[in-house]
Structures are given as structure tokens and as C-alpha cells.
A and B are shown apart, each in its own frame.
Chain A
């Protein structure tokens, strides 16, 4: 069916889907049945089925009948959703750049002051939120004093989300961590790199109050923090501009503090020159970086959980590219043979 064309089955299918969804919702929330969990054996069978159907797509493509957009969409959805319920485990290898970041954190003493900068919005939360949660867990276990801020207006809200989740865990409840003493959220300030520039002189000038409006000087954790010289380490989570690059250019290179970063995968490749030159101490790149960070710190969370889906979706994209290229090569060969015949 052409993309955009209407079908007479649309309304009945929609009604059926909505009804089914309602039934599942009620049944699951009332716990009439358990979670959907696919055993290793069943997972293997499903994977073979998907692989088989991809061969069918290859044959169709070679016949000059390539898969439509919606077919590709369906495969991507299946590759992402099915693994979420599969009971398979994977070995996560920690890359040198994640290891470097971890070593940087490990070298910090108990009570070190860490500036955690949240420069992202919900659009990138799937990649960066697991990193934020792992970082908080590690920081609280090591007794770091965490100072949170953001150059994106949504950043401090994302930090609050991660904090709420981490602090609701029993392990951290018993620690009785106190706001303003063990951690503080300074909130967001506009001005991009100029905020960093100004903070080089005085934090308070950019954050006269914290995120909730409490005056800077009345918060014990930051009372003696004048500028970057009172910070032991900076951990930046970034999804674009302003973000890691601006922190490196204006912060690290001008004021000389140490910084490690967690980036969306899209942005990560561009940060490698800074990593090699030592302007950055370690980097967590995308979901795999989050999973590796969880692996090395032993706080396994969503990053680890999602890696199976990540693996499958990558394989599906690779297979689709291979199918497209096989068809292209065959088609080109066919054309070349035809030309020869004509000649």
C-alpha cells in the first residue's frame, strides 16, 4: 500500500488494538498475569525466525521488489522490543575511554567536590539518564559532594529525576543524604559559554540562589566554593550545544579543572580529539558508554538492560544495508553484462 493512502481496515484495526491495549493494561496493573519473559530457547527460535524472514527480504529485493518503508520500520520495532523481554545475557567489554573516566573518578578522595553539569533534555534522556543515575550512585557511595547545574533549562530537571530515583533506593535512604550538605542543584542559567566564563570568577554571580530559590551562601556544600579552583572534578552530561565542547574550550582550557564527560552517541565521535589531547579525562559514548559505566562501577541498570535491544537493532540495520548493497551489486553486474551483450 502506498504511504499516505487510506485503507478500509484502518478503523477496525485501530479499535482492535485499543481494546487489546486496554485489556492488557487492566490485566497487568491488576496483576492477573506476570511479566512477559522469553526464555533463552524461545528467544533463539524467535531470532532464527527473524533471520529467516530477512533472507526472504533479500530474495524479494534481488527479484527487484525491495521492502517498503513500513516493512523496515516493522523490523526495527521488532529488533528493539523483543529483546527487552528476552532472558539473554551479554558480556559487556569496557572500552579504554570509559576506563579512563572511571580511573579519574576513582582517584578522587572521599568528600571531593564534583561539579555535575547537566546539558541535555528529555530528547536524549534514554542515553544520558542511565549515566546520570550511575554517576550519582557512585558519587554518593564514595562520599563525594555533588554540585549540580545546567546550561540547558531542562538539565537540572533531568538531574532531579535521576536523584529522585537513586535516593528512593534503600541503599541511599539509609545514608540519610542531606540536600545542601551532600548535594545541591543550582539550577539552570542562560548565557551558554558565558556562564562558564563568569563562573571562572565566581559561581555565585551566576547562581545567586539554587534551583529552589535558596540563597547561595546559606547552602553549606557551596558556602566555600568560590570558583572552579574549589572544584576537584567536573562531570558533564551533554547532548549538544552548549555542552562538553564549550566546557572544554572555556572551562577546562582556561581554568584548568579536570573533566570527564558522558555524551550522546551522535556527539561522541567529535570529542575524541579532546580525549587524545588530554583536555577530557574519559568519555562515555551513548548507550554503550552508559552500559560500560554500569559494568565497571557494578551498578547495573537500564544501560545494561537496553544493550540487548541495542545489539539487535544494530544487526538489523547492518543486515538491511547488506541486502541493499547485494541487490545493488547484482543489478550493476546485470547491467554490465547487458552492455557487453549489446556491444
Chain B
């Protein structure tokens, strides 16, 4: 029961979505609609599970007075603050001007965007220290990166203004993006997709079971 029922559920859900693609009529369209609705609700519960798990782990950390437990207190306080404000606002919690919206704009947004923004410094530093033209392949990578980096900003055309039309940096960057890049990305895309197709088939047929864990 612990393994067979999940395998059956996986198989049925998978087959329904495959069949409805080719026969989008009753009853398969109805099944696929039901399953999509269920998926939506289960996905929301999975997010809840994640958030509650974070809450639980943080509480455990505080209880055991593990290293950094003070930060866990901050995490819990902020989590509770956001949820209390969000739930007390009601259904239109995210309307412009609500407390939730204020927290989103002045706490969540700056933190979220700065977390990604600091990567700019590390990208530059890593490029300086590690991006080397060690062989022909790496040199190709480097040249393509240079052409795209300079060709996609206005200064590129300023630097290559003396070149004949068609050979300016912006045009070279466009050519690289439209042809060699498309070719490479397409090869990657087809390769990955074939992998996904075969993995999906293994999952639906019950050959791949690792997602069910032990026992």
C-alpha cells in the first residue's frame, strides 16, 4: 500500500495528461481539468508545507539554543508579522496601500532585489580571476562573451563605429545570438527534452521509483 498506491496514482495521472493531449474531449478533458485543479491546490499545500517546516526547524533551533538561534528568532518574528498582517487584511490583502503591500514594497522588495544584485560583484571578480583563454574552446567562449557584452550595449557601436556596416559590434552580437547561439541552445534544448521524455516515461511506467524514498 505504501508503494503500490503511489505508483498507481503516478501512472493514472501521467496517462490522463498524455491521452488528453491527443484526445481533448470527454472524458479526458474533464479528467485533465480535475487534475489541474487538484495540482493547483496540492502545489499550494506544498508551499505551506515548506513554510511550516521552516517554522518548525527554526523553533527547534531556538529550543536547542543551537548556534545562530538569535537569527532564527528574527526569522520567526518576521514570518509571523507577515502572516498576521496578511491574514488580517482579508482577501484584498495585496491591494495598493495595505500593510502587506507596504511590507512587500519596503522590506521584501529591497531584500530580494539586493540579494541578486550583489552577484554582479562576484561575477566581475570571478571573471577577472578565472576567465582565461587556456585553449581554442575557451578562446571561442571568451570572444563570444566579449562580442555579446559589448554588442548589446550602445557603447559597442561607439567603439566599432569605424567598421563597415554589418561588422559593427551590435550586428555581430545579433548574428551570434540568432545563429550560433540558437544552434547551440537548440541542441541543448533537444537533448534535455529527450532526457525529460524518457524520464517521464520511466516514472509513468513505474520503472523509476526513487521519488518515493526508502521503505
Main secondary structure of the interface of B (DSSP, over half): helix
Residues of B within 8 Å of A92, CB to CB, are 154
Q: Which of A15-23, A103-111, A308-316 contacts B (4 or more CB under 8 A)?
A: A308-316
How many cross-chain pairs have Cβ atoms below 8 Å apart between A and B? Answer: 168
The smallest C-beta distance from B94 to any residue of chain A, in angstroms, reads: 6
Pick the residue among B120, B133, B149, B158 that contacts A318 (CB under 8 A).
B149
Q: Which residue of A lies closest to B118 (CB)?
A: A73
Pick the residue among B131, B149, B154, B174 that contacts A324 (CB under 8 A).
B131
Main secondary structure of the interface of A (DSSP, over half): helix
Residue pair B146, A328 in contact (C-beta under 8 Å): no
Total B residues in contact with A, Cβ cutoff 8 Å: 65
Residues of B within 8 Å of A311, CB to CB, are 153-156
CA distance A194 to B37 in the complex (A): 8
Residue pair A122, B92 in contact (C-beta under 8 Å): no
Q: Which of B3-11, B63-71, B109-117 contacts A (4 or more CB under 8 A)?
A: B109-117
Residue pair A76, B113 in contact (C-beta under 8 Å): no
Q: Mark A317-328, 1 if CB is under 8 A from B, else 0.
A: 110110111001
Q: Mark A61-94, 1 if CB is under 8 A from B, else 0.
A: 0000011010011011100100000000011110
CA distance A90 to B188 in the complex (A): 36
Q: Tell me if B82 counts as interface (CB < 8 A to partner A).
A: no
Residue pair A288, B185 in contact (C-beta under 8 Å): no
Residue pair A198, B36 in contact (C-beta under 8 Å): yes
Residues of chain B in range 157-215 having any CB-CB distance to chain A below 8 Å: 157-158, 170, 174, 177-178, 181-182, 185-186, 188-189
Residues of B within 8 Å of A91, CB to CB, are 154, 157
Residue pair A315, B92 in contact (C-beta under 8 Å): no
Q: Mark B81-109, 1 if CB is under 8 A from A, else 0.
A: 00000000011101110000100110011
Pick the residue among A76, A205, A275 that contacts B37 (CB under 8 A).
A205
Pick the residue among A90, A272, A288 that contacts B158 (CB under 8 A).
A90
Residues of chain A in range 31-74 having any CB-CB distance to chain B below 8 Å: 66-67, 69, 72-73
Beyond A190-B40, A317-B149, whether A122 also contacts B109 by CB under 8 A is yes
Total A residues in contact with B, Cβ cutoff 8 Å: 71
Q: Tell me if B124 counts as interface (CB < 8 A to partner A).
A: yes
Residue pair A123, B116 in contact (C-beta under 8 Å): yes
The smallest C-beta distance from A132 to any residue of chain B, in angstroms, reads: 14
Beyond A269-B185, A272-B177, A314-B150, whether A328 also contacts B132 by CB under 8 A is yes
Residue pair A321, B37 in contact (C-beta under 8 Å): no
Beyond A121-B112, A190-B43, A198-B37, whether A160 also contacts B94 by CB under 8 A is yes
Residue pair B33, A198 in contact (C-beta under 8 Å): yes
Q: Which residue of A lies closest to B133 (CB)?
A: A325
Q: Tell me if B1 counts as interface (CB < 8 A to partner A).
A: no
Beyond A96-B174, A156-B94, A272-B182, whether A321 also contacts B131 by CB under 8 A is yes
